């Protein structure tokens, strides 16, 4: 009988310690109602701090931390300014202004790069040469004018805001009867004359 009483006493003490940790009353065998361990020390600093802060749940919704885990802190907030690397260019590029700096035809300029691709602009007029790009598709977007993409199976005519992608390996010959402004997306290092080469081959230039 004494052994059973001792087990119950130890269990009650353990539950009381747990209740103090989470600021919660507990049930004690042999007593009616709830036993609140905080009542055993009403004059203590613990009791005074409890009155000031109120009950503390395990999940503290005020700061996202868990009050039952010592040393655990909420993640500090990061402002938008702090998340931007110092080397990021914050200047927007206006395509109309960029095109105004180009005075030659079929001389592409690199506007920017996206991952492994270059975005280029150019002014074109007349007929280019037949060529293909064995390793990359090529996207054409017309900003103004009219561009005809001559293919071996027919022609694709693009007006302002029209887009067409020439699949890799497909021969094509761009042609424009009037001065036309175009945008091209292609893998970095793509040569303008593709597999044809020749005197019309130029290296892509940066915007001035």
Give the tens place of pLDDT for each residue, 174-198: 999 999 999 999 999 999 999 999 9
What are the distances in angstroms from CA 82 to CA 11, 39, 88? 52, 49, 12
Residue 186, Cβ density class (10 Å: 0-12 exposed, 13-18 middle, ≥19 buried): buried
Number of H helices, E strands in the chain: 3, 10
CA nearest to 67, candidates 55, 83, 80: 55
Mean pLDDT for the chain? Answer: 79
Q: Where in the chain is the domain with CATH 2.60.120.10?
A: 95-206
- The string of pLDDT tens digits covering residues 69-95 is 445 555 555 555 566 677 888 889 999
| Residue 32 scores a pLDDT above 50 | yes
| Residue 13 scores a pLDDT above 60 | no
pLDDT value of position 59: 47
pLDDT value of position 63: 47
Higher pLDDT among residues 53 and 119, named by residue? 119
| Residue 146 scores a pLDDT above 90 | yes
Pairing of strands 172-187, 117-127: antiparallel
CA nearest to 166, candidates 145, 179, 180, 182: 182
What is the topology classification, in CATH, of domain 95-206?
Answer: Jelly Rolls (2.60.120)
pLDDT value of position 12: 62
**Spatial separation of the C-alpha atoms in residues 32 and 13, rounded to whole Å:** 17
At 145, the pLDDT band (50, 70, 90 cuts) reads very high
| Residue 199 scores a pLDDT above 60 | yes
Helix, strand, coil tally for the chain in percent (to 5): 20, 30, 50
């Amino acid at each position: 009988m004494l052994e059973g009483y001792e087990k119950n006493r130890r269990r009650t003490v353990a539950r009381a310690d747990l209740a103090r940790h989470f600021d919660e009353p507990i049930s004690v065998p042999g007593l009616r109602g709830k036993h609140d361990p905080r009542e055993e020390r009403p004059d203590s600093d613990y009791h005074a701090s409890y009155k000031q802060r109120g009950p503390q749940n395990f999940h503290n919704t005020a700061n996202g931390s868990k009050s039952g885990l010592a040393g655990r802190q909420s993640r500090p907030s990061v402002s938008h300014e702090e998340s931007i690397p110092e080397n990021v260019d914050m200047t927007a590029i206006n395509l109309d202004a960029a095109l105004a700096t180009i005075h030659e035809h079929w001389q592409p300029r690199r506007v920017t790069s996206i991952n492994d691709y270059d975005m280029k602009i150019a002014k074109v007029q007349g007929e280019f040469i037949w060529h293909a790009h064995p390793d990359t598709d090529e996207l054409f977007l017309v900003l103004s004018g009219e561009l005809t993409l001559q293919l071996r199976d027919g022609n694709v005519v693009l007006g302002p805001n029209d887009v067409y992608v020439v699949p890799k390996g497909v021969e094509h010959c761009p042609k424009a009867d009037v001065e036309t402004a175009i945008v091209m997306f292609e893998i970095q290092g793509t040569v303008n004359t593709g597999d044809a080469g020749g005197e019309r081959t130029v290296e892509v230039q940066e915007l001035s």
